[in-house]
Amino acid sequence: MLPGMDPKNMQKMMKQMGIKSNEIGSTKVTIELKDGGRLVVFEPQVVQIEMQGQKTFQVSGKVSEEQEAGEDDIKMVMESAGCSREEAINALRETKGDIAEAILRLKEQ
């Protein structure tokens, strides 16, 4: 926001320029990265801005970076714990990629 400009005037100016701004209620935003990892934004504040037919999003909140488990890690957990692929992936996510901990958790079930 420009210094000295109150929110009502800012909204009026944006409307005159054809810019629409809406806050979107959300609980979590996940961004899948090209390297297989992901960024997760918890308790996000998401604002959608539409200008000249194009939508952009502004996201802020608590960010956590997660790495997706590699194929070899998934297979090792599946074989060692005798579980499904989905169970192995979930266990690796819960243990932040700790293979031994994931296997132990699955064997305890």
How far apart are alpha carbons 76 and 16 in whole angstroms?
A: 59
Give tens-digit pLDDT for 26-75.
999 988 888 777 888 989 999 999 998 899 999 999 998 876 778 889 99
What pLDDT was estimated at residue 107?
92
The torsion angles phi and psi of 105, rounded to 5 degrees, stand at -60, -40
Cβ neighbours for 8, distance < 8 A, ≥ 6 positions apart: none
The torsion angles phi and psi of 44, rounded to 5 degrees, stand at -80, 155
The whole-model pTM stands at 0.54
Closest by Cα among 21, 64, 25 to 46? 25
How far apart are alpha carbons 108 and 83 in whole angstroms?
A: 12
Q: Is the dihedral of CA 75, 76, 80, 83 positive or negative?
A: negative
Q: Does pLDDT of 104 surpass 60?
A: yes
